[in-house]
Structure formats: structure tokens, C-alpha cells
């Protein structure tokens, strides 16, 4: 089945600085706010409820099967875990890189999940290294290195990893042997997700692009899915029905892209 050619775009939320996105086990949309140090849940009426405060630059979000929320904390270059029923994050893993506030030297940003290994995908942005991390935080395994500033990652069912190199440019496929192949052009990619039609979706934060684009993994031209009104599109997630959500932390919006049949 081909990917949808058209989407109806609506503003789902407006306010604060929504960054990375994730769907919780009940299908509710959560977003991190680097500026405010919070993680919030979006309600059906378009209002946000703050769930966690006091984080040092929260970015990427991943839910584990047991309901644990894993959070990338950029300013400290740490991976945190918030267990079900707990309002207090605990340290899952301190990453090797030393973050700074200088552009392209900041700490961990996006994180992902590898369904083939049951491990977290962790781009250590300051060192340009891609790791996989066990869910107990005990084992950190290097998968690939040589990136400039990797910030987004996802994986398919075979364990092939896809990485957005924000300051090096483009989106790359990383095999289990660590080999890299470019799969999509991007000026300054931030987040990546795979759809169910053999495509990869990419947010590009460079102001000359500021767009959400879709590229076929088999090669070919990309298609812009959203761009008008975006300044720094960041978070990206697709629900089981193919609805796409994208956030822009500068404009302060979360957009919903619903396939038009």
C-alpha cells in the first residue's frame, strides 16, 4: 500500500516550547519542554498537564513495555528513568560525552528503541557515537561512531538503525556491523521516524528548510509534508493509524497530520 499523498494539517496544541514527542501506553501524547524543564501530557481538549518538573533540558522520550518513561537529559548528558507510579526520575546511565552550551556540542537529544534487540538507541551527541543501552542501564554497547552531532535515532524490525546527524547533515542507515549509508538528505535533521510504507520521515530545523519531509528508503525524491509556519520543527511521532504529530519549539505548536483518503 502506498503512503498517503495528502494530509489534513491541524494545530493540536499551542503554547510553551514543545520539543520531543512520545505516545504513552494509552495513546496519549507527551512532550518534553527543554526550556521549562518539564514533561507534559496533552489532553483531548488541547490543554497540557505538566507531569514532571525540574529536569535539566529534557529531550528524547521512550516508553518501555513496563510503562517506564525513559528521558534524555541534554544539559547533563544523562539518561533518566521514571518508573510507573513514581514522580521522581532516577539515573539510568551517565553518557561518556561532555556537553556544552556551544552550538553542535550540546548533550544527548533524541533517543530511540530497537525492537530487534530490546534495547534503547542512544546517540551520544558530544562524541558522535551511537550506542545501545540495556533497559536496566547496565550495559552500553557502541554501534557506530564518526558522526558530527547525532541527535535522532530509530530502528526497524531487523535492527537496522537510522540516525539524524544534526550538524553533519543528512540521515544515515547504520547496519549491525557499524557501516553507514546515507538514506535521506537534510540540512540539519533533528528527528526521524519510519512509517509503515517503507519511508523515513525527517524534521529539518535549519531555517532555510524548517520542514517535515518524507523519503522512500529505497531511494528517490522526498516529499514535503509540512513546512508553512514552521521555524524549528523538532519532535516527531506516528500513531498506529498513520497520523503524524510534529512539534515546533520556537513557534510553540504541535501539529496533527491526518491522512486524507
**Domain for residue 112, yes or no?**
yes
Which residues lie closer than 8 Å to 255 by C-beta, 6 or more apart?
A: 9, 10, 11, 12, 226, 245, 246, 247, 248
- How many domains in the chain? 1
pLDDT(10) > 80: yes
**Domain for residue 69, yes or no?**
yes
Give the CATH number of the domain where residue 205 resides.
2.120.10.30
**Domain for residue 154, yes or no?**
yes
Confidence of residue 176 (pLDDT cuts 50, 70, 90): confident
pLDDT(207) > 80: no
Residue 86 confidence (pLDDT)? 86
pLDDT(1) > 70: no
Residue 219 confidence (pLDDT)? 84
If one compares 12 and 2, the residue with the highest pLDDT of the two is: 12
If one compares 141 and 44, the residue with the highest pLDDT of the two is: 141
**Domain for residue 198, yes or no?**
yes
pLDDT(104) > 80: yes
**Domain for residue 3, yes or no?**
no
Residue 99 confidence (pLDDT)? 93
**Domain for residue 258, yes or no?**
no
**Domain for residue 114, yes or no?**
yes
pLDDT digit string, tens, across residues 179-188: 899 999 999 9
If one compares 24 and 221, the residue with the highest pLDDT of the two is: 24
pLDDT digit string, tens, across residues 159-174: 999 999 999 999 999 9
Q: Which structural domain range is residue 69 located in?
A: 58-233
Amino acid at each position: 500500500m502506498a503512503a498517503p499523498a495528502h494530509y489534513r494539517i491541524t494545530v493540536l496544541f499551542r503554547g510553551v516550547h514543545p520539543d520531543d514527542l512520545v505516545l504513552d501506553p494509552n495513546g496519549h501524547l507527551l512532550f518534553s519542554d527543554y526550556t521549562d524543564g518539564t514533561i507534559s501530557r496533552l489532553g483531548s481538549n488541547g490543554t497540557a498537564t505538566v507531569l514532571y518538573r525540574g529536569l535539566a533540558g529534557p529531550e528524547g522520550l521512550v516508553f518501555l513495555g513496563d510503562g517506564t518513561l525513559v528521558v534524555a537529559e541534554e544539559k547533563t548528558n544523562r539518561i533518566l528513568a521514571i518508573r510507573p507510579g513514581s514522580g521522581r526520575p532516577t539515573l539510568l546511565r551517565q553518557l561518556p560525552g561532555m556537553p556544552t552550551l556551544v552550538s553542535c556540542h550540546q548533550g544527548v537529544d533524541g533517543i530511540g528503541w530497537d525492537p530487534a534487540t530490546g534495547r534503547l538507541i542512544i546517540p551520544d551527541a558530544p562524541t558522535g557515537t551511537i550506542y545501545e543501552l540495556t533497559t536496566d542501564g547496565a550495559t552500553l554497547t557502541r554501534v557506530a561512531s564518526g558522526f558530527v552531532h547525532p541527535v535522532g535515532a530509530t530502528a526497524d524490525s531487523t535492527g537496522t538503525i537510522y540516525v539524524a546527524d544534526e550538524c553533519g547533515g543528512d540521515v544515515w542507515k547504520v547496519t549491525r556491523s557499524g557501516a553507514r549509508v546515507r538514506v535521506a538528505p537534510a540540512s540539519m535533521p533533528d528527528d526521524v521516524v519510519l512509517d509503515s510504507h517503507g519511508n523515513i520521515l525527517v524534521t529539518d530545523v535549519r531555517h532555510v528548510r524548517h520542514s517535515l519531509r518524507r523519503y522512500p528508503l529505497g531511494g528517490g525524491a522526498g516529499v514535503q509534508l509540512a513546512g508553512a509556519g514552521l521555524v524549528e520543527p523538532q519532535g516527531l511521532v506516528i500513531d498506529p493509524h498513520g497520523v503524524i504529530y510534529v512539534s515546533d519549539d520556537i513557534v510553540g505548536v504541535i501539529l496533527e497530520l491526518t491522512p486524507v483518503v
